[in-house]
Structure 1
């Protein structure tokens, strides 16, 4: 039987939403690896739900590019698309540089404190080698920055567009021993730039930060060719 990371349904979460969330989380966290075959029956059995909400979740994930449904052949977790990652790099750098410029100019004190608290949580993750939690606090840090610049909706758009990038980043973190330390060091520089209002440092470090994972994709492809298109 297929192994999934399963949590309890959220309050007021429908069965359809629950099936989608569990599958999405498992795909993005690489519990369900790129290229893996899955079926409605086994997922419904593992989650103890009917096949209808699973089928609806499959369709939604297919529309998002995370699943590939092949008639008469089966359903597979989509492989990581490097061309989409390259396009996402342009989007992310363009938007994040603009936001960092705003953040280094004027950033709410309360959210500066939240950034520092987020760094403390990341530090604990680094010590414990907890890549999964580190990735969560990584996203939280960027969310705080965009919120502080009154651009939270733009961060939501980025999150919806970064599915291939997110999986490559999880793979990068889990396969390289020193990767978590490198990213954490960059995060500290990002927060430092905001607190000290150093626009030059902010724009420079955010580009290096985003390029870090993308520049590692070629190496990841060689190491895990079965995961990439």
Structure 2
């Protein structure tokens, strides 16, 4: 029996979009773990809705690469592709270093204040042991930097292309010690951006993004069925 973290439907959100968003966030937070079988009937019963929006959500998630629809076998949460993680890491590192250099030249005060608020929210999530919330805030913090440098659509594209990388990161921060490490690196990064210390900020982002390579062997050993 699946278990989902349920959030309320947003204003003007239709049922199809709601089901997709709900399943997407549960997969990305590794609440629905890689390899888990999911069925239209089970999800529709769980959410007390018809099967049609669930079927449409499955198709959308399949296009994202987050579920596999196998004829005569069923629908399964896709396993994490380690080869894609390396490609994702390269893409993120290339783009984020360029944006961090821009941020260190000048990031408007409005965005610096948003970064400070993000750090406060991350600390609260970390103290509460809420890894899913922490990862959401982690991604939002990077999005703030891209937006402050006039590159919000680059970040959106990067997020869409980095789903396996992001799922592996979500899996890693289930470890509270890892959240501590990530939070400290975020603090350092924001400090160096504020002080226009480009080399130090670039070093922070290198270490932050490359950390998944360090974590990956341990994650695969702990969860061998989650990876392919």
Q: Does the pair score TM above 0.5?
A: yes
SS in 2 for 1:119: helix
Instruction: Say whether residues 1:29 and 2:29 are aligned partners.
Output: yes
Is the Cα–Cα contact under 8 Å of residues 69 and 75 in structure 2 kept in the other structure?
yes
Task: Give, in whole Å, the separation in 1 of the partners of 2:52 and 2:36.
Answer: 21
Q: Which residue number corresponds to residue 72 of structure 1?
A: 72
Task: Give, in whole Å, the separation in 1 of the partners of 2:137 and 2:37.
Answer: 30
Measure how far apart 1:5 and its partner are.
1.3
Is the Cα–Cα contact under 8 Å of residues 2 and 32 in structure 2 kept in the other structure?
no
Measure how far apart 1:125 and its partner are.
2.2
Number of aligned residues: 228
Instruction: Say whether residues 1:199 and 2:189 are aligned partners.
Output: no
Q: Which residue number corresponds to residue 217 of structure 1?
A: 216
Task: Give, in whole Å, the separation in 2 of the partners of 1:97 and 1:122.
Answer: 22
1:72–1:43 distance in 2 versus 1, CA, 3 Å: same
Using the size of structure 2 for normalisation, the TM-score is: 0.96
Q: Which residue number corresponds to residue 180 of structure 1?
A: 179
Measure how far apart 1:97 and its partner are.
0.1
Measure how far apart 1:8 and its partner are.
2.0
Structure 1 unaligned spans of 5+: none
Aligned pairs for 1:82-161 (under 5 A) are: 82-161=82-161
Tell me which moved more, 40-49 or 212-221: 212-221
Is the Cα–Cα contact under 8 Å of residues 126 and 176 in structure 2 kept in the other structure?
no
Structure 2 unaligned spans of 5+: none
Measure how far apart 1:228 and its partner are.
0.4
Aligned pairs for 1:54-69 (under 5 A) are: 54-69=54-69
Measure how far apart 1:181 and its partner are.
0.8
Q: Which residue number corresponds to residue 164 of structure 2?
A: 164
Measure how far apart 1:218 and its partner are.
1.5
Tell me which moved more, 82-91 or 132-141: 132-141
Using the size of structure 1 for normalisation, the TM-score is: 0.96
The Cα offsets for residues 104-152 of structure 1, whole Å up to 9 and x where unpaired, read as: 0111012112111211222222222222221122112111111110001
Task: Give, in whole Å, the separation in 2 of the partners of 1:128 and 1:31.
Answer: 17
SS in 1 for 2:89: helix
SS in 2 for 1:68: strand
Task: Give, in whole Å, the separation in 2 of the partners of 1:98 and 1:54.
Answer: 40
Measure how far apart 1:92 and its partner are.
0.1
